[in-house]
Amino acid sequence: MATAAAASLQYALHGAATASAKPRSAAPGRSVRVAAARRSVRARGGAVVARAAASADATAESKSGGHEVLLFEALREALIEEMKEDPTVCVFGEDVGHYGGSYKVTKGLAEMFGDLRVLDTPIAENSFAGMGVGAAMKGLRPIVEGMNMGFLLLAYNQISNNCGMLHYTSGGQFKIPIVIRGPGGVGRQLGAEHSQRLESYFQSIPGLQMVACSTPYNAKGLMKAAIRSENPVVLFEHVLLYNLKEKIPDEEYICCLEEAEMVRPGEHVTILTYSRMRYHVMQAAKTLVNKGYDPEVIDIRSLKPFDLHTIGNSIKKTHRVLIVEECMRTGGIGASLRSAIIDNFWDYLDAPIMCLSSQDVPTPYAATLEDATVVQPAQIVAAVEQICQ
């Protein structure tokens, strides 16, 4: 059913792309344009992504220009650039069209690309996630937005049984180049159901890649790389980071989906973190430096697979590890990361790995109780002092 709907949508999207182009012969022009776009996407994907990402940080530093954007604006820029480049890129979700998305990531896209490429859906997550999978099977590159990542639990069947596995179960006949994205994490008194962290839910699904953005720079770079990827990618955005401002390059760039980011070099302890906790860690790092400690901070960014090369090189230098996450302690990203470090770098550790995670309780609505469930900078400082004794 999802595939049939996707086929109909694919025909409509390609027709809309042709109608908006300069006058040309109808069917041949459309097919040539789409085929060329697909070849371009394939050429720009894969190894090109990895090579370009390796020089992305250096490029950002070397260019004196750039422009300041908020994180949600950086995501929007990535969508616009990729949709202009490739007519097979489209967006599905609740209120993504003329309303512009719950956090305005898709603001103005419906006016730019039309209602068929920026498709408002009913409140039916399982249905439109399935339509996204079917569209990807038929050659489109859909971006499925969950208005809140917690709502995507209703689409878990499509994400796990179809999105992650169809490439394998079809014997390689189908690729699923889909991006699933949206806001999550503990916000400001959003209540338990709107404060979900689904990283731990999705990490065990075979076939999925997972990344978490934390700055406007890596938000744009990761979004563009995810759209170009031939694999299904889940992009986690934190609800409290959308208004974070940063200067990003005017030139095109992408970030590698499998690479961690060295945020602060150090010698005494490796602190591994991602998303919002990056800022709690950096706040704690200021206190630690004043106390004579020299922490190395790594934003792991790639939640699946882990960048064990970067992580391992740091551990071989510091010999101590602290993991800081907003995910739940039981079965969370930190638990998987701790296991990977023990399996691969046990001989380099001089102290037990410590992991600071959120409490295994529903997130309270009351602000003081909400803060108590999430790791705070003072806890990070105390943990480093304990590890370095």
With cut-offs at 50, 70 and 90, classify the pLDDT of residue 220.
Answer: very high
Least confident of 189-198, 200-209, 234-243, 375-384: 189-198
For residues 222 and 192, is the Cβ–Cβ distance under 8 A?
no
pLDDT of residue 173: 95
CATH placement of domain 68-249: 3.40.50.970
For residues 301 and 259, is the Cβ–Cβ distance under 8 A?
yes
With cut-offs at 50, 70 and 90, classify the pLDDT of residue 188.
Answer: confident
Q: Answer yes or no: 125 catalytic.
A: yes
CA–CA distance from 23 to each of 10, 16, 26, 166 (Å)?
21, 13, 8, 38
Question: Residue ranges of the domains in the chain?
Answer: 68-249, 261-388
Nearest-5° Cα angle at 32, 29 to 33: 80
CA–CA distance from 301 to each of 100, 357, 358 (Å)?
26, 17, 18
Asked whether the domain spanning 261-388 has the same topology as the one spanning 68-249, the reply is: yes
pLDDT of residue 257: 97
pLDDT of residue 258: 97
Please determine, for residue 384, whether its predicted confidence score (pLDDT) is greater than 90.
Answer: yes
Instruction: Tell me the pLDDT tens digit for each residue of 111-133.
Output: 999 999 999 999 999 999 999 99
Q: What is the largest CA-CA distance in the chain?
A: 74
Tell me the two tokens of residue 374: 């999430």
Report whether the peptide linkage leading into residue 305 is cis, meaning its omega lies within 30 degrees of zero: yes
For residues 211 and 302, is the Cβ–Cβ distance under 8 A?
yes
pLDDT of residue 64: 57
Instruction: Tell me the pLDDT tens digit for each residue of 247-293.
Output: 999 999 999 999 999 999 999 999 999 999 999 999 999 999 999 99
**Residue tagged active-site, from 82, 125, 237, 261:** 125
Query: From the centroid of its chain, how far is CA 270?
Result: 23
Please determine, for residue 303, whether its predicted confidence score (pLDDT) is greater than 50.
Answer: yes
* CATH class of the domain defined by 261-388: alpha beta
The DSSP code for 362 is P
Name the amino acid, one letter, at 233: V
**Residue tagged active-site, from 14, 194, 268, 280:** 194
pLDDT of residue 189: 86
Please determine, for residue 47, whether its predicted confidence score (pLDDT) is greater than 80.
Answer: no
Span 49-76, average pLDDT: 66
Q: Answer yes or no: 167 catalytic.
A: no
Q: Which residues of 263-280 are buried (b: 16+ CB within 10 A; e: fewer)?
A: beebebbbbbbbbbbbbb
